[in-house]
Amino acid sequence: MTAIYALYGDADAALRAVDGLRAAGLHDGDITVVSAEPLEHHPLGERDRATWMFWIASGGGAIGLAVAVWLTRMTELAWPLPTGNMPIVSWWANLIIMFELTMLGAILATVITLIITAGLPARRSLYDPEIVNGRILVGVERPASQSVPQIERALLAGGGRVKTV
Amino acid sequence: MNEAAARRLNDDLLRPLVETSWRFWVLVLLLGSVVVTGLATWLYQMYRGFGLTGINMPVYWAFYVTNFVFWIGISHAGTLISAILRLVNAGWRRPVTRCAEVITVFALMIGALFPIIHLGRPWLFFWLIPYPSERQIWPNFRSPLVWDFFAITTYLTGSVLFLLLPMIPDFALVRDRSTGRRNRIYGALALGWRGTPKQWHRLESAMQIMAIAIIPVAVSVHTIVSFDFSMAPVPMWHSTIFGPYFVAGAIFSGIAALILAMAALRTFLHLEAYLHPLHFENLGKLLLMMSLLWAYFIFNERLTVWYGNATAEREALWSTQKGPFAPLFWTMVACNFVVPFVILSVKKLRTIGGCVLASFAVVVGMWLERFLIIVPSLSHKYLSYTWGSYRPRPVEIIITTATFAAMGLLYVLFSKLVPIISIWELKAGEHYVADATPRTAAAHPLLPPPRGSRVGDPGLRTHP
C-alpha cells in the first residue's frame, strides 16, 4: 500500500478527518489535503501559509536593477559618443531601463519561487480525478502498516469512503 | 462547492473545448483568410519597398505607428484592469479576468509587430535587442525606441506569466476530464498540479505580487510609448501631459475592447449564465469614468496649445479643428465622449447592448485619436515649406484590417483550447461571496443556478 485516502463532499467533513488524523498522532506534514479550489475561507486552508515569496521577489528586483545599472553604464562608456547633447552616462534616460529591468527581475523571481516552492513540475502522487468535481481528498501517503487501522477510523469519522492505492 | 454545482460549472465552461460547431470553422476560415492576405501584402511590401505605402515626406509615421499605439493601448484592457480588480478583491472580476488578460497578450504581440512592419528591412529588427555586435556597438539606451523594446518586453513577459499561472489549475481540470492525446497534452501543461493548500497559497501569493508589479509596468509602457512622441520637438507632441494622456486613453480603449470581447464570448459560447448584465454595467461605469477623463485631458491639451498660440502649433491645431482633419476630429469627439456619455450616464441605457454600442464607438474613436496625434502634427512642422499631407494606400489598409482579423482569430483559437473563464477562481468566488456576505451573494450571483430554476435564487448558491 502506498497511500490511504478518502474523498469528502465539503470542507467541514474534510476538516473532521484531518482532526481525526492529528488525534491519531499524525503531523500536518504527513497529511495530504487536495482540493479543486483554494480553501482560503476555511481553517483547512490555513496550512503552509508562510512564504518568503515577497522578499525573494524584492531580491529579484534588486538583481534586475543592478543588471540595468551595469548594462547602461557599461555600454555608454564602451563607445562614449555624445548623443543629443546628453551626458555620456545619462541617468535620466537610463532610469527607464533600470525601472523596467527591476520589475522584470521581480516578476521572474516570483514565478521561479512559485514553481520551486509549489513543487512544479511534479510527478503526480496521491490524487483522485473526482477532486475536480468538488470533492476534497484527505489522505496519508506511505502510511506505517501498524497505523493503518487508526487512519481508516479517522477517515471514516469524517464521513468519507476509504480508498487505498 | 457542492458536487452538482461543480459538475455543472465544469460542463458549462469546458463545453467550448470539447464541442466544435461548423460556425467555429467558418469563423476561423474567414479570419484566417484575412490574416493570410495581410501577411502576403506585408511580403509584397517588403519585396517592392515602402513606395507602395502613402508614407512620404514629411509624414513618415502614419497608419503603422497609429496601429502600434492603438494596439498597445488596447493591451491595457487586460492585465492592468485584472491586476487592479485582483488587488481590491472585487468579487465580480472573477469571470472577467481571463477574458481581459488574453486581450493584453494578443494585443501586445500585434502591437509589437508594427514597428517591425514599419522597418524598411524588417529582418534586421534584432538590432534593437541589447547585445554587442562584432564591433562591440550596443543599442543607444538614450533612444525612446530602445525604451519601447524594454518596456514592451517586460510587459509582455509579465502579462504572459500573469495569464499562464492561473491557467495551471484549469489545465489540471481539463487533464482530469479528458482522455487520450488531450489528456497527455493538458497533463503536460498542468505540470503535475494537484491542488494542495501549499500550492494554492503559493499561486495566490504569486498572483498578488505580480498584480502589484504589473500595474506600474503597464503604466510605464504607455508612458514610454508617449515618449516616442513627446521627446521630439514636433508641434503638439513636445508636451508634458502626453504620458498620463496616453495612459488614460489606453485604459479607455482597453475597457471598450474588453466589453466587446465579453459580449462576443457571451453570445457565441453561450456564457450568459456567467457573464451577467452586472459585469457589463460595472465595466460600463468604468468606461464612462474614462470617457470623462479622456475629455478632460483633450481639453487640457487643446487649451494649452490654443492659448500659447505658437505659429506651428496653431496650424497643427486648426488643421484638426476646422481644416482637412476636422471631420475625423469631430467624429473622434462624438465617438469618445458624446456617444459613451449619453449611453452610459443613463442607467436604463447601460444595458449589454448599450455598453457594446458605446464600446464600439470608443474603439473607433481611439483609433482616430492615435491617427490625429500623429499625422496632423507631422503634416505641419515648424517650416511651412515642409508641410505636406498623407493618404493611406491599399497595403496599409489591408495590413491594418488583417491585424484586427488576427486579434479575432487568436481569441477564437484561444477560447477553443483554454477555458476562457477561470473555473477555479469562479468556484473560489462562490465561497468568498456566499460565506462572507450572504446578502451580496444573493444580489450578485457569480454562479448560475441549476438548470430550470430562477436566476438569483440565493439558496442555490450557498456553501453546503
State the DSSP string of B28-65.
HHHHHHHHHHHHHHHHHHHHH-GGGSS-BTTB-SSHHH
The one-letter amino acid at B280: F
| Residue-level pLDDT at B1 | 66
Band of residue B464 on the pLDDT scale cut at 50, 70, 90: very low
CA distance A69 to B68: 29
Comparison of pLDDT for B450 and B328, the residue scoring more: B328
pLDDT in tens, A89-98: 999 999 999 9
Please state the rounded mean pLDDT for residues B1-21.
83
Domains in chain B: ranges and CATH: 3-126+139-438 (1.20.1630.10)
Could you tell me which chain A residue has the CA closest to the CA of B191?
A121
Q: How many CA atoms lie within 13 A of A157 on its CB side?
A: 16
Amino acid in position B209: I
pLDDT tens for B62-94 read 899 999 999 998 987 778 888 888 888 877 788
Question: What does DSSP say about strands A3-8 and A161-164: parallel, antiparallel, or unpaired?
Answer: antiparallel
Judging by DSSP bridges, how do beta strands A31-34 and A161-164 pair with one another?
A: unpaired
pLDDT over 70 (residue B22):
yes
Top-confidence range, A27-31, A127-131, A150-154, B51-55: B51-55
Cross-chain residue pair A104–B147, CB shorter than 8 Å: no
Q: What angle do CA B307, B313, B317 make, to 5 degrees?
A: 80
Residues of A with CB below 8 A from B3's CB?
9, 133-135
CA distances from B346 to A156, B8, B259, B363 (A): 58, 36, 18, 20
CA torsion sign for B158, B163, B164, B169 is positive
pLDDT at res. B441? 42
Please write the tens of the pLDDT for every residue from B139-189. Answer: 888 889 889 999 999 999 999 999 999 999 999 999 988 888 988 999 999
Neighbours of B457 (CB within 10 A): 12
Q: What is the mean pLDDT of residues A143-152?
A: 85
- In the predicted structure, residue A120 carries a pLDDT above the cut 60: yes
Using alpha carbons, select from B391, B367, B370, B369 the residue that is nearest to residue B379: B391
| pLDDT at res. B71 | 94
Q: Is-cis flag, bond preceding B58, omega within 30? A: yes
Q: What is the DSSP letter of A34?
A: E
Q: Sort out which chain A residues have CB atoms less than 8 A from B1's CB and list them.
A: 37, 134
Residue A83 carries which DSSP code?
B
Residue A106 distance to chain B (closest CA, Å):
7
Instruction: Name the residue facing A124 among B194, B197, B436 (closest C-beta).
Output: B194
Q: What is the pLDDT of residue B451?
A: 46
- pLDDT of B435 reads 42
Residue B417, pLDDT above cutoff 70: yes
DSSP secondary structure letters along B313-364: HHHHHHHHHTSTTHHHHHHHHIIIIIHHHHHHTSGGG-SHHHHHHHHHHHHH
CA distance B271 to chain A (A): 20
Q: Using one digit for the tens of pLDDT, what is the confidence trace for B196-252?
A: 889 999 999 999 999 999 999 999 998 999 999 999 989 999 989 999 999 999 999
pLDDT at res. A124: 63
**What pLDDT does residue A114 have?**
94
- Cβ contact, residue pair B424, A36, below 8 Å: yes
Helix/strand/coil for B402: helix
Confidence of residue B430 (pLDDT cuts 50, 70, 90): low
Q: Check: pTM over 0.90? Answer yes or no.
A: no
The secondary structure of B174-186 as a DSSP string is HHHT--HHHHHHH
CA distance B200 to A114: 10
- Residue B436 above 70 pLDDT? no
User: For A46-59, what is each residue's pLDDT tens digit?
Assistant: 777 788 999 999 99
Least Cα distance to B202 among B246, B165, B174, B159 occurs for B165
Report the sign of the C-alpha dihedral through residues B43, B47, B49, B54, in that order: negative
Residue-by-residue DSSP string for B222-275: HHHHHHHHHTS--TTTS-TTHHHHHHHHHHHHHHHHHHHHHHHHHHHTT-TTTS
User: Which three-class secondary structure state does DSSP give residue B408?
Assistant: helix
Cα B407-B410-B413 angle, rounded to 5 deg: 145
The per-residue pLDDT for B188 is 92
C-alpha cell belonging to residue B116: 517591425
Average pLDDT over residues B54-61: 88
Identify the band that residue A1 occupies on the pLDDT scale cut at 50, 70 and 90: low
CA B101 to CA B80: how far, in whole Å?
A: 8
Is A47 close to B197, i.e. CB distance below 8 A? yes
Least confident stretch, B223-227, B281-285, B364-368, B458-462: B458-462
Contact list, A120 vs chain B (CB under 8 Å): 168, 191-193, 199
For cell 479622456, what's the residue? B294
* pLDDT top residue among B192 and B437: B192
The span from the CA of B360 to the CA of B372, in Å, is 18
Q: What is the mean pLDDT of residues B260-273?
A: 88
In this structure, the strands spanning A136-141 and A3-8 are antiparallel
How much is the pLDDT for B252?
94
Q: What is the pLDDT of residue B13?
A: 87
In the predicted structure, residue B442 carries a pLDDT above the cut 70: no
Report d(CA B110, CA B115) in Å as an integer: 10
Q: What is the mean pLDDT of residues B257-264?
A: 92
Q: Is the pLDDT of residue A44 over 90?
A: no
Q: What is the mean pLDDT of chain B?
A: 87
Helical packing angle, B3-18 and B394-417, nearest 10°: 140
Using CB atoms, which residue from B137, B191, B204 is nearest to A120? B191
B-contacting residues of A 23-62, CB under 8 Å? 32-42, 44-49, 51, 53-54, 57
Cβ–Cβ below 8 Å for B197 and A44: yes
pLDDT, tens digit, 9 for 90 and up, residues B111-130 = 999 999 998 889 988 887 87
The rounded percent of chain B whose pLDDT value lies above 90 is: 58
**Count of beta carbons in the 10 Å neighbourhood of residue A47:** 18
Does the structure show a pLDDT above 70 at B446?
Answer: no
Instruction: Output the CA–CA distances (angstroms, integers) from residue B263 to B105, B258, B266, B351, in the order listed.
Output: 19, 9, 5, 11
Residues of B in contact with A36 (CB under 8 A): 6, 169, 173, 195, 424, 427
pLDDT of res. B463: 31
With cut-offs at 50, 70 and 90, classify the pLDDT of residue B402.
very high
Mean pLDDT of B272-298: 92
Q: Report chain A's mean pLDDT, rounded to a whole number.
A: 88
Task: Name the nearest CA neighbour of B210 among A38, A66, A60.
Answer: A60
Q: Is the pLDDT of residue A65 over 90?
A: yes
Q: Which residue of A has its CA nearest to B202?
A: A114
* Cis amide linkage into residue A121, ω under 30° from 0: yes
Q: Put the strands of the sheet holding A161-164 in their side by side order.
A: A31-34, A136-141, A3-8, A161-164
Could you give the residue ranges of the DSSP H alpha helices within B348-462? Answer: 352-379, 394-417, 423-436, 438-443
